[in-house]
Structure 1
Amino acid sequence: MLDENQLKEKLIPFAQNDFHCADPAAAAALVTDMLEHNGSLDSELRDDLIYSALATWVTVDDCLGEDALRLILQTALDDRHMFHRIGETGADSVFRRSFSVLLLPLILHRHRARPFLAPAEVAGIKDGVLRFLHEELDHRGFVEGPGWAHAVAHAADALEELARCPEMGAADLGELLAAVRAVICDPERIYAFGEEERLATAVLSILRRQILPDAALAEWVHAFADTVREVESPPQKFILRANVKNFLQSLYFRLQWTFPDRFLSEAIDRALFRINPYANRSAD
């Protein structure tokens, strides 16, 4: 097993060629070591080298065989990676969890381009991501020193790729929407590192499938406002309202710009009105 410095030495030549894979066998030979160090506190190794290399090899060059792709998938989902000491907050373990869930969008992207996963495997990825979002409590974005943790944003990217998979039916998409709402309706932490935009991107991919009825979507939107109105105590009410407002506003304008939907836009408008404490005040 290579140590971190040895792995860096192996990956830097790939980086000098924008990670393009001139030697697929050499790339595949490094995958196990890369998975072992994907939670490194060295952001250059973790983010700039390991993740960048895998993203290029899987989604751009498509130079890894199915055995290597399944190794990445199975490793990412296991208890030593996505669920490594899950439930901890403020600890270094989040980097391994977060950068493991970030591998799933790569695998799903490749699967959509050239299918190789069975429907049960795609369903297993969905179950893993939903479990991750339910159990992950460390919602830090950027951490001074080690860099990006960003567990929520990385999981949002996985939701977005799942939503694009034809294996996901209406019931599955409903589960993804429920997970988004649960994450946004967190009264303990304000999301300040673009998480709401990444989650809105996932929702837009769900909407583009056009298989969920308008009534179900409107109910989902109004449930955000219901949750805000149910909480009375500060600071939770203010944190919750900020998260919901930021997310719904992001989704509203993204709809206007990329996927106009008058019915859903009107539902979001009503929900935002309901949670705005100044909406019913007359001008002085």
Structure 2
Amino acid sequence: MELTIEQIKSVMENNFQIPSECSLMEITPVLIEKLGNVDSDIREGCLEILYAWIMNGEYDNTTLISLGDQLISLTHTGLGQEISDFVFLRAFAALEVAGILVFDEKCEKGEIEGRKAFLTPEIVKKWFTIALEYYQQERDYRSYVIGKGWAHSIAHGADLFRDFAKHRLIQKEEILHIFQIFKQKLASPSPRMFNGKEELRIASAVYTALLRNKLDIYEINHWLSSLFDPFQEKRFWEFAKEPEKLTGYFHVERFFKDFYLMIKFGISRKGSRAHPYYDVSLQNRDEILKILEQCILKADSNSFYYKPD
């Protein structure tokens, strides 16, 4: 079947009711395919519809697992290409997998009437491993693409890891893997600067993971301090002849500042963060702020901020 922009808008305007002219299982493959559409209105509309149907419990547990398997595999479509329209499918499929993780947690907490949690450790581990490979190998760093809308794969991947980090089946080992993949993505040389607040999406995922209280302050300190390791030998202007490495430097520096302000002022409760999960206090908050202050000063190298001897 075909799905026009008018039909997409109609579904959204009618409180995401399943269209009477087709069945749920007929329209779902079409929605998934159009997650990779280069028309932003079509892509974003299909994202919202599929996400709403996941969260509204329209799919049974077996179907959700099957959808998750399909969607997580789509994050590898065209993977490794620096500029390709496949990025839209990868990035938007990642958000739908995140939705399934969130729905499973809601079922576990009894927030969905008549539904029980359905994800097993084996399934979550499989999806998590595929997600790590996707994020590690993602090379398309574009944020907003003129004429096509948001690609934003680095941000969407961070959102996926944010929702992995909240999931009950994700433990300390996986959280450490998440932090390492974020380190790699921030600090690695890159031909393109993040320009869609990707560092803030990563900071949000890290903040979310820390609320699980799986890491002690020494592990947090080690990870934060290690982010700047690739840049110890030079000051930022000395990377002028290595622009791709300079990009990684700026990504790390901006992350330090963004994460510092997020912890100092608290995380926004808008959208997916309008949840009791974020109402708890962050353990070791003051110690983490002090660590980040030192990280910011180290990155600055006494260039603009005063650092006592």
Gaps of 5+ in 1: none
Deviations 1:104-147 (A, max 9, x none): 11110111111211111111121111101111100100001111
Report percent identity of matched pairs.
Answer: 22
**Counterpart secondary structure, 2:77:** coil
Q: Distance in 2 between matches of 1:7 and 1:66?
A: 29
Check 1:216–1:281 CA distance in 2 against 1; reply closer, same or farther (3 A cut). closer
Q: How far off is 1:164 after superposition?
A: 0.3
Q: Distance in 2 between matches of 1:281 and 1:136?
A: 37
Q: 1:139-218 residue pairs with structure 2 within 5 A?
A: 139-188=141-190, 189-218=192-221
Q: Distance in 2 between matches of 1:175 and 1:219?
A: 14
Q: Distance in 2 between matches of 1:242 and 1:166?
A: 34
2:100 is equivalent to residue 107 of structure 1: yes
2:257 is equivalent to residue 268 of structure 1: no
Q: Aligned letter for 1:217?
A: I
Q: Distance in 2 between matches of 1:269 and 1:170?
A: 25
Q: 1:74-85 residue pairs with structure 2 within 5 A?
A: 74-78=69-73, 81-85=74-78
Deviations 1:8-31 (A, max 9, x none): 4543321122425587x8334311
Q: Aligned letter for 2:105?
A: R
Check 1:74–1:147 CA distance in 2 against 1; reply closer, same or farther (3 A cut). same
The equivalent of 2:65 in structure 1 is 70
Q: How far off is 1:276 after superposition?
A: 0.3
Moved over 6 A (4+): none
Count of aligned positions: 274
The equivalent of 2:249 in structure 1 is 241
Q: Aligned letter for 2:52?
A: T
Q: Aligned letter for 1:249?
A: K
Deviations 1:255-275 (A, max 9, x none): 112255011111111111111
Q: Aligned letter for 1:195?
A: E
Q: Aligned letter for 1:57?
A: W
The equivalent of 1:46 in structure 2 is 43
Q: Distance in 1 between matches of 2:63 and 2:10?
A: 21
Q: Distance in 2 between matches of 1:172 and 1:223?
A: 18
Give yes or no for contact 2:69–2:127 (8 Å, CA) kept in 1: no
TM-score, normalised with respect to structure 2: 0.82
Q: Aligned letter for 1:265?
A: L
Q: Distance in 2 between matches of 1:211 and 1:65?
A: 32
Give yes or no for contact 1:7–1:34 (8 Å, CA) kept in 2: no
Q: Aligned letter for 2:205?
A: A
Q: Aligned letter for 1:233?
A: F
Deviations 1:156-176 (A, max 9, x none): 110000000111111111001
Q: Aligned letter for 2:54?
A: V
**Counterpart secondary structure, 1:233:** helix
Q: Distance in 1 between matches of 2:300 and 2:249?
A: 8
Check 1:66–1:7 CA distance in 2 against 1; reply closer, same or farther (3 A cut). farther
The equivalent of 2:263 in structure 1 is 255
Taking only aligned residues, the RMSD between alpha carbons, in angstroms, comes to: 2.1
Q: How far off is 1:281 after superposition?
A: 6.6
The equivalent of 1:26 in structure 2 is 23
Q: Distance in 1 between matches of 2:138 and 2:221?
A: 28
Check 1:216–1:150 CA distance in 2 against 1; reply closer, same or farther (3 A cut). same
Q: Aligned letter for 2:224?
A: V
Q: Aligned letter for 1:54?
A: L
Check 1:249–1:66 CA distance in 2 against 1; reply closer, same or farther (3 A cut). same
2:41 is equivalent to residue 37 of structure 1: no
Gaps of 5+ in 2: 108-116, 267-280
Q: Distance in 1 between matches of 2:304 and 2:246?
A: 16
